[in-house]
Structure formats: C-alpha cells, structure tokens
Amino acid sequence: MNTICIMCPMGCPLNIERVGDEIKVTGNTCKRGEIYGKAEFTHPVRVVTTLVKLSDGSVASCKSCLPVPKERVADVVEGIGKLTLPADVRIGDIFKVGVKSLDVDIAITGTPASA
C-alpha cells in the first residue's frame, strides 16, 4: 500500500507491506511516519463529520464520538442520514446511530443560528 505521511509538512511517500509476521514501512524519514504508516495499514480510522436533520426541518452538524473504520464511513453517514433529532438539540448532546454491526454514537457539534 502507498500513501503520504500526514504527520508533518514533509509529506514522505510511504510504502507499507506485510513481510512475514511484520509490517514494514519504507519511505518514512522518522519514527512518527512508521507509526502512522502501520496504523493506516492495519486499521485506518476516521472521525465522521456531517449534518443531521432536525424535526423542524433545519440541520445541525455532528461528528462520530470515536473514529470509525475508514471503510465504514459511508455506512455511518447513511445511518446518520436516517435520523431526525429534536429541534432543541444542544452542542454536546449524544445520540445513537443504527449502523449494521457497529456501535456508533454521534455528538452534536453545531446548531442552527436561531437556537
């Protein structure tokens, strides 16, 4: 797998491979690149940020409380899309999202200007 390290502006091009029992990172110029490369290779995760509908027709912004597996980001977005939350949500409120075989909570991060 090839990617670019995002730990600093250097942006080292990383090549990550499984060699026997070991995961080998090449192209990095420091230890942080190796750690990043291994994480991206074994279990890449992302925090999902998107909008969620409110019962009055407006939208609030939200994020997954924890990073979710990268390949499930689209499923989580779809799950959030099915929700309609009360219009009086506040920043920091937490809700459950129904996503197959994943336990995902979202936190409200922003509310409409009128709130």
Partner 1 sequence: MLLNYDVVIIGGGPAGMAAAIAAHDSGAKTLILERDVRLGGILNQCIHQGFGLHYFGEEMTGTEYAERFRREVHKRDIDVMLEAMVLSLGEARIVTALSPERGLVKVKAGAVVLAMGCRERTAGAIALPGTRPAGIYTAGMAQKMCNIDGYLVGREVVILGSGDIGLIMARRMTTEGAKVKLVLELMPYSSGLKRNIVQCLDDYGIPIKYSHTITRVVGNPRITGIYYAPVGEDRRPILSEEKFVSCDALLLSVGLIPENDLLGGLGVEMSSVTNGACVDENRMTSLKGVFSCGNVLHVHDLVDNVSREAEIAGRAAASYAKGDLKSGEGVCVCAKDGVRYALPQRLTKGEGKVKIFFRVDGVYKGAKLVAECEGRQIFAKKFAVLAPGEMGDIEIDKAGVDGDIVVRLQR
Give the residue from 58, 110, 113 showing the smallest Cα distance to 85: 58
Closer Cβ to partner 1, 23 or 65, answer by number: 65
Phi, psi for residue 90 in degrees, rounded to 5: -120, 155
Q: Which residue has the tokens 């909008």?
A: 51
**One residue of 27, 32, 63, 83 binding partner 1 per CB under 8 A:** 63
Q: In the complex, what is the shortest distance from the CB of residue 46 to partner 1, in angstroms, rounded to a whole number? A: 7
Give the residue from 27, 35, 23, 24 showing the smallest Cα distance to 10: 27
**One residue of 1, 66, 91, 94 binding partner 1 per CB under 8 A:** 91
In this chain, which stretch among 18-26, 51-59, 96-104 interacts with partner 1, using CB under 8 A?
A: 51-59
